[in-house]
Amino acid sequence: MKLKARNDNVFIVRKEKEKKHSGINISEGAQVKSHIGVIKSCVNDKFVGKEVHVPHYGVEDVEIRGEEFAVTNINRIFAIRDVGETTWKPVNRYVKVRKCVNDHVRDKDGDIALYMTENHIEFTNWVQVIDIDEDCESMNKRYIGMFCVAPEDSEKLARLEYSKEFMLHEDEIKFVTTGD
């Protein structure tokens, strides 16, 4: 079947449901549709055949002639990679960031001043910039390694698989700092 996407739509073939995670079997009722797929049709041919992270919001699952697709707007795509690769690249003005973790209270020299038990170590909203889409308007590669605050809840913030890495739209970044 030849499928031609129109307007700004993207047709994605999702990978199979995940049946195991970290060596543990996932029950049939707990399995969800895969958040990873391959772009089958898109107005931007450079994305066709690329593996994509399917967004959580704004996706409609449809069946056409027996084949299932996740359909969304091209602007909702935030991460792509070549099939078989492991590194996600940001697209559509997204910035790849890594969540920072509070570990212990430290003094100005970086030495532990107050040891925090495992129960009290919490994630922060601070993230470190690790990659930037070349189409970003207000962010550029010189910001890699700097820090910013990510919103607690935004459809423009998406976790990459099961990692501490996220994609954050550049519009959500209010400032960057070296952390000094």
Encode pLDDT of 4-23 as tens digits: 888 889 999 998 877 776 77
Residues of the chain with CATH 2.30.33.40: 9-77
- Mean pLDDT computed over 127-156: 91
What's the mean per-residue pLDDT of the chain?
83
101/3: higher pLDDT: 3
Encode pLDDT of 19-50 as tens digits: 776 777 777 766 667 789 999 988 877 889 99
Non-local CB neighbours of 8 within 8 Å, separated by 6+ positions: 43, 73, 74, 75
pLDDT for the residue numbered 27 = 74
Encode pLDDT of 148-160 as tens digits: 888 877 888 888 8
For the domain made up of 9-77, give the CATH fold: 10 Kd Chaperonin, Protein Cpn10; Chain O (2.30.33)
26/56: higher pLDDT: 56
| Cβ pair 144, 132 in contact under 8 A | yes
Confirm whether pTM is higher than 0.75.
yes
Encode pLDDT of 104-127 as tens digits: 555 666 665 555 555 544 556 888
d(CA 67, CA 79): 23
Q: For the stretch 33-71, what's the b/e string if a residue is b when 16 or more beta carbons lie within 10 angstroms of its beta carbon? A: eebbbbbbbbeeeebeebbbbbbeeebeeeeeeeeebbb
| Cβ pair 100, 128 in contact under 8 A | yes
